[in-house]
Chain A
Amino acid sequence: MTSPLTRGEAGALVLEHVTRRYEGNAEPAVDDLSLTVAPGELLALVGASGSGKTTTLRIVAGYEVPDSGRVLLTEPGGATRELTREPPQRRGFGMVFQHYALFPHMRVDENVAFGLEARGVKKSERLARAREALDGVGLGGKAQRAVQALSGGEQQRVALARALVIEPRVLLLDEPLSNLDPTLRQSTREELRATLRRSGVTALFVTHDQEDAFAVADRVAMLQKGRLLQVGTPEALYDTPATRAVAEFVGRAAVVPAERAEERVWITIGGVALNTLARHADGAKEKQVLAVLRPESLELTDDEKAPTWRGEVTVRRFAGGHAVYRVRLAGGVEVEVFGHGEGVREGDQAGVRLVGIPVATVPA
């Protein structure tokens, strides 16, 4: 017998040129978005609030109908079904809501069994399967509890079990980690990824938190003002961001004006020009580009002879294993630099230079 947390072959979810406008808003909430989530893939949809990620999720779930574009599901056999106007109850998707949306008047197992009830599964069987699903998220012992009696992390797992027990063709998760406190969040991320991996479900996961996205997802799609900026693995987004917005959203970065020179890039701060190897974004074709200075591509130096950018250390923060310095360089540019046990304090003057690892550039 298969566990309810494992399922057969997953389908691929395809969005084609999806646009959604709200009445009274000049800008569309989702603007010509095309995206494919491969079978069994965990794709995170990230962006600031108002970027259209929740609207996209609601369109996929069927709570909203796009003004144009299509939502398709490719079955494992290769057949493609259009779902654009299919109501939510007929899509067979699972969803984990931001505040979990657990039914407060039902016990934990009744909550999990509800989707099976809607499918006409008889009571004894659905409760048994709910119990199994709860075992799968480590809550087998709390099946009879009232949902209010559970902690936030437990409620999140109940919501996950409830969405998975129906063996959804696609699982949708709306900020499932945002209600958890930071320590719990760390471990829950790992559990979430493990559970999703085990179930093999195709999952679309909305979050505003880049760390959540990187920890859970196989690929990350970044939205801004309803448009897709970039989609790729977390490494790809970090190392070769397509735009300044992606670069700044993904990890710490100072984005500064630079000049492209073949495989290299010249960066001038406070009149001092330094150059290094570059990874140019596809869009960065012009001579004038922006360089993405990550903390690990910089270091502090007291070598006065070599050309360095000079500035004042404004913040020193020990981050376990390394220290992070914030340095205000000439011209007002602020950069963060990883360092070690240097005897540098706030208020000290320091030199900053490039380590030599390639620096990403994005269009200006």
Chain B
Amino acid sequence: MSARRRSFGVGVSITALALLALLGWSVVYPNASVIIGSFERGLDDWRAFAASPADIDALRGTIIVSVGSVVAALLVGIPLAFLLTRTDFRGRRLLSGVATLPAALPPLVGVLAFLFLYGESGVITRVVQHLFNLAEPPWTLSGLSAVIFVHAYTMYVYVFLFVSAGLERYDTTLDEAATGLGASRTLLLRRVTLPLLTPSIAGAMLLVFMSALGSFSAPYVFGGGARVLSTQILVSKLNGAMGLAYVETTVLAVTAVLALFLLRRMEGRRAYAMAGKGRATRTAIRSRLARSLLPIVATAIVILLILPHAMVVLVSFARDGAWTTQVLPPEYTLDNFRRLAQDRDLWQPISNSVSMALVATVADAIVCFAIAYVVVLTKAPGKRLLALLSQLPWAIPATAIALGLAATFDRNAPLQLRVLLVGTFWILPIAYFIRNIPIVTSAVEGSLRQMDPTLEDAARGLGASRWLALRRVIIPAARPGLVAGTMLAAVAAVGEFVASVVLYTHANRPISVEILAQLRSLSFGTAAAYSVLLIVLVLLIVVGARWLEGRVADGERVIQAA
């Protein structure tokens, strides 16, 4: 990396310091405020936390949900990854096509779909009830196991993607060597394949653990009597017990950072470079039984994966209030969508979400490009700290970030660097902006690291100003990552729920919060119509990014040819 020393002028130093100040103010300060706030009354709030059965219950619940979600996601994701990368069977392509579908559901929408499908009056629940002539629903979708069930569906995708990628890189001659030496299938898996996939698995576990730890919507909707910290924080805040909320937030954040530390170590210690050409071998299934069963199983999985999406779309056409005891909604209408377009009050969440996501994403694009530039291409002072701070929001659950903002920017106190943002339009875009700093920065850094660093020197050597070099050489090189990163940021921002529900006001409520409100008033059709709209927005963003990437690809080729 020594080749990556680059220009180091006054401008770069000022930029670096400005970025450090910005991250210090928006990321470090609020979280520090929370920790300090938890000690505002000495250890009283900590004692209250330790003495409160509800809080201990919530901590236990959080850990059970996180660990349970990791286990469930591994149990679904690993076999599916092996099946789709290592074997060939009829229906494989279709299954790989939809395997990542759950990740495309905005968090609250997935929860909504599960409610429609597997809730007490859900379609599947009722079908089973009718089939077996049961007086009661066969199950209730509530408690920690329900939360883990929903998480397994949405989060197995991380495991699936990481392990699939690991298997693509996997040198299968290692497996051949092991079987040639007499290893049974179990020994092979236990001693060779799984140990070598550890980095992939650990990376995915980390992602699932962090997502489950901070998850809000599933526990909020399905938790029933069960508590987890992320929802408990909101309860404390609404009860006005801010000190306790700070303690809960601190505990949650510390748990997250600990998990991050532990799993990163596991990930790093087991990383091996694979030598060899790594033939990708997809074997046809030999057993006749498996060969005839697999397409059926695959079809069943495909249906399971598509059902939530299909259900949301179906319910969005259901007349509010008409769906009571029937298996499927009895009446269909376009009214739900019509009302969204005509009723100004109903339209507002949509325009709120779009404008807030836009503001946050533009800010992410500019700031994160600057961070990535400083970190990758300069020797500016404090660049290591900058790199660390840019990844910090990732380790802190969204509820904690939101509470930090609420605790810090609740008054105007210029000397303390506090500005009143709570209750204004700006508080949510700032929360979205902070949450998406890590993803956009990493994506841009990825692109910049692939650029030959001498290109900037070459441009400057040819007489280009710093600005011209930036515009003509560096930005084009950064564009693939910038496009991908901002796309993910925009998708996350437009459907954001967890931070929003802590910080929203009626005037700036986003779609996700409105979906919850509609759900509470049992307007399932309207809630589903919002969800469909949200899915459409996400699709538009993805398609837009693809189109941009296509145009970038031409520029890319020029850069690579150079």
Interface-side segment among B56-64, B173-181, B318-326, B415-423: B173-181
Contact yes or no, B179 A89, CB < 8 A: yes
Contacts of A98 in B (CB 8 A): 173, 276
Contact yes or no, A89 B180, CB < 8 A: yes
* Given contacts A114-B191, A118-B184, A88 and B179 within 8 Å (CB-CB): yes
The contact of B272 among A104, A114, A166, by CB within 8 Å, is A104
Interface string of A6-29 (1 = CB under 8 A from B): 000000000000000000000000
Give residues 69-87 of B contacting A (CB, 8 Å).
none
- B462 at the A/B interface (Cβ < 8 Å)? no
Interface string of B171-195 (1 = CB under 8 A from A): 1011011111111100100011001
Contacts of B551 in A (CB 8 A): none
Interface centre among B181, B184, B192, B196, by most A CB within 10 Å? Answer: B181
Contact yes or no, B195 A119, CB < 8 A: no
Contacts of B178 in A (CB 8 A): 103, 114, 118
Q: Number of residues in A with C-beta < 8 Å to the partner?
A: 30
* Given contacts A99-B275, A103-B192, A104-B275, A118 and B182 within 8 Å (CB-CB): yes
Interface centre among B180, B184, B274, by most A CB within 10 Å? Answer: B180
CA distance A91 to B195 in the complex (A): 25
Q: For residue A111, give the distance in angstroms from its CB to the closest CB of chain B.
A: 9
Contact yes or no, B192 A99, CB < 8 A: no
Contact yes or no, B191 A117, CB < 8 A: yes
- B264 at the A/B interface (Cβ < 8 Å)? no
Q: For residue B286, give the distance in angstroms from its CB to the closest CB of chain A.
A: 10
- A214 at the A/B interface (Cβ < 8 Å)? no
Contacts of B182 in A (CB 8 A): 89-90, 92, 115, 118-119, 166
Give residues 276-317 of B contacting A (CB, 8 Å).
276-277
- A261 at the A/B interface (Cβ < 8 Å)? no
- B4 at the A/B interface (Cβ < 8 Å)? no
Q: For residue B97, give the distance in angstroms from its CB to the closest CB of chain A.
A: 23
The contact of B174 among A93, A103, A148, by CB within 8 Å, is A103
- A105 at the A/B interface (Cβ < 8 Å)? yes
Contacts of A117 in B (CB 8 A): 183, 187, 191
Q: For residue A109, give the distance in angstroms from its CB to the closest CB of chain B.
A: 14
- A73 at the A/B interface (Cβ < 8 Å)? no
Chain A facing B: main interface SS: loop
- B131 at the A/B interface (Cβ < 8 Å)? no
- A291 at the A/B interface (Cβ < 8 Å)? no
- B134 at the A/B interface (Cβ < 8 Å)? no
- A216 at the A/B interface (Cβ < 8 Å)? no
Contact yes or no, B191 A104, CB < 8 A: no
Contact yes or no, A99 B270, CB < 8 A: no
CA distance A348 to B275 in the complex (A): 50
Interface string of A94-126 (1 = CB under 8 A from B): 110111111111000000001101110000000
CA distance A61 to B173 in the complex (A): 12
CA distance A300 to B504 in the complex (A): 97
* Residue ranges of A at the interface with B (Cβ–Cβ < 8 Å): 61-63, 87-95, 97-105, 114-115, 117-119, 148, 162-163, 166
A-B contact pairs, 18 of them (CB 8 A): A88-B180, A89-B180, A89-B184, A94-B181, A95-B177, A97-B276, A99-B276, A101-B174, A101-B177, A101-B276, A103-B177, A103-B192, A104-B274, A114-B181, A115-B183, A118-B178, A118-B187, A148-B272
In addition to A63-B180, A97-B176, A101-B173, 19 A-B residue pairs with Cβ atoms within 8 Å of each other are: A62-B180, A88-B180, A89-B179, A89-B180, A89-B181, A97-B173, A97-B177, A99-B173, A101-B176, A103-B174, A103-B192, A104-B196, A104-B273, A105-B195, A114-B181, A115-B182, A117-B183, A162-B181, A166-B182
* Residue ranges of B at the interface with A (Cβ–Cβ < 8 Å): 171, 173-174, 176-184, 187, 191-192, 195-196, 270, 272-277
